[in-house]
Structure 1
Amino acid sequence: MMQQLQSQTHPTPGVILHDISWQEYERLLEILSDKNPGLHLNYLAGVLEIMPRSSEHEQIKKMIARLLEIYALERGIALYSCGSTTLRNQSNQRGLEPDESYCIGTRKLIPDVAVEVIVTSGGLNRLEIYRGLGVMELWQWQNQQLTIQFLNTSQMTYELTNESRFFSGLSASIVSNYLNPNQEPQMLSAFRRFLQQSQGHD
């Protein structure tokens, strides 16, 4: 079961701005990325959310990323890191910066997998933004719980799934067992040992 993660600081709520044009959104991206890289900008059909990044947020998203990367190395998955590069689709009026993202097999314009950590609630519907961008798999941490959601392209909706479609054999519950930033080195080593031992029994 996932370790209960205690906030080290009180998360600062984001700011919501309405009636923001696409051009204004792109301009704010340019300005804020240079002057304040500690902010996330999420855009959905004229509504802009500006979110600060807390230490809790950064620790969790980085540890999820490291666990996925270790899994890819141990299982021989061709993983390409895309980081938090801004994803944008002007025709769908959607844009955001994933906490982490990856392409599988080869680099693509839109990553196959994204990691999204939500510490504060009540903002924009980020699933709707990811859906409009066409990100196929989303690892989402919210309310002390990690879930995997996969995009059903026929319905164009996200559906909860027990296991990753891109990290074959890996479930959210397995990753959750090792998701404890306060013991990061020990957890990463334990996860690697678990993978090596389970590989020997395949």
Structure 2
Amino acid sequence: MVTTRPPSPLYPSPPMVLRGVSWPTYKTLMAEVGGDRAWRIAYDRGVLELRMPLEEHEEPKGLLESFVEAIADELEIEVRKLGSLTLEREDLARAVEPDSCFYIQNEAAVRGRKIDLPNDPPPDLVIEADYTNSSVNKQSIYWALGVPELWRYTNQRLLVYARTESGYEQQNFSPGFPFLPIAEVGHFIEQSRTLGQRSAVRLFRHRIQAILSEQRG
């Protein structure tokens, strides 16, 4: 008897990759399937990748979103969270849906607006939680779109990248939040597995409060 392995997040289906997809074909496909879909896209000059988010993928992404919101509350600033907003530019023949994205420095400029690149600025921060390999270089897409800061959560570590003239360079600090203890973020996410998500967020918030209090003297 042949035994087939049931679907498991340990053995995720690879992304579907379509090549030779023109921009009009990409736009037609997106219009036909609409926004009510589970899979996310990345499009780079004719190559279209479709991928399904996983549970292991979504949980750290949600916690990172909560961490950004906690920081914003402690700083008493506005941020605009737009999740997996489709970022696309026909003139560059590139499009991508991040795991999440935020407007921070440019929040006031896009508040209440329907985002339209390049007439509007790109998000100030993009978040990617890596649990599947991508056939498309999404960092190059974000760079082309002008996203200034990229967070990648991979192997229980947060990696922070800043946009330069030639690409992204990994940083030891967040350009948007220089006080963020990057090396500790993975620990807070791992704590959520035993303490619960909201407890982990509260612990993170207390850590940020302590850092800001120390800076303010």
Q: Shorter-chain TM-score category?
A: 0.7 to 0.9
Matched, 1:178 2:188: yes
Matched, 1:163 2:173: yes
Give the superposition deviation at 1:34.
4.2
Q: Structure 1 length normalisation: TM-score? A: 0.87
Q: Structure 2 length normalisation: TM-score? A: 0.82
The residue aligned with 2:48 is 48
Q: Deviations over 1:126-161 (max 9, x none)?
A: 101111111110001233332010101xx2310111
Cα RMSD over matched residues? 1.8
Give the superposition deviation at 1:193.
1.5
What SS class does the counterpart of residue 51 from structure 2 fall into?
strand
The verdict on how the C-alpha distance between 1:8 and 1:46 changes in structure 2, with shifts beyond 3 A counting, is closer
Task: Report 1:11-22 matches (<5 A).
Answer: 11-22=12-23
What SS class does the counterpart of residue 38 from structure 1 fall into?
coil
- Larger Rg over CA atoms: 2
CA contact (8 A) 2:180 2:208 kept: no
The residue aligned with 1:66 is 66
The residue aligned with 2:153 is 141
What SS class does the counterpart of residue 178 from structure 1 fall into?
helix
CA contact (8 A) 1:9 1:56 kept: no
Query: Distance in 2 between the 1:195 and 1:18 partners?
Result: 45
The residue aligned with 1:4 is none
CA contact (8 A) 2:179 2:211 kept: no
Which one-letter code corresponds to 2:13 in the other structure? Answer: T
Say which structure is richer in strand.
1
Give the superposition deviation at 1:71.
1.1
Q: State the number of aligned residues.
A: 193
Which one-letter code corresponds to 2:81 in the other structure? Answer: S
Query: Distance in 2 between the 1:47 and 1:132 partners?
Result: 15
Give the superposition deviation at 1:63.
0.9
The verdict on how the C-alpha distance between 1:193 and 1:34 changes in structure 2, with shifts beyond 3 A counting, is closer
Give the superposition deviation at 1:94.
0.7
CA contact (8 A) 2:40 2:51 kept: yes
Q: Name whichever of 7-16 and 187-196 sits farther off.
A: 7-16
What SS class does the counterpart of residue 73 from structure 2 fall into?
helix
The residue aligned with 1:39 is 39
Give the superposition deviation at 1:30.
2.1
Query: Distance in 1 between the 2:54 and 2:143 partners?
Result: 25
- Taking every aligned residue pair, what percent have the same amino acid on both sides? 29
CA contact (8 A) 2:14 2:132 kept: yes
Any unmatched runs of 5+ in structure 1? 1-6
Structure 1 ranges of 4+ moved more than 4 A: none
What SS class does the counterpart of residue 179 from structure 1 fall into?
helix
What SS class does the counterpart of residue 49 from structure 2 fall into?
strand
Query: Distance in 2 between the 1:171 and 1:160 partners?
Result: 15
* Higher RCO, 1 vs 2 (CA within 8 Å, ≥6 residues apart): 1
Any unmatched runs of 5+ in structure 2? 1-7, 111-119
CA contact (8 A) 2:157 2:185 kept: no
Q: Deviations over 1:140-189 (max 9, x none)?
A: 1233332010101xx23101111111123114213222113423122111
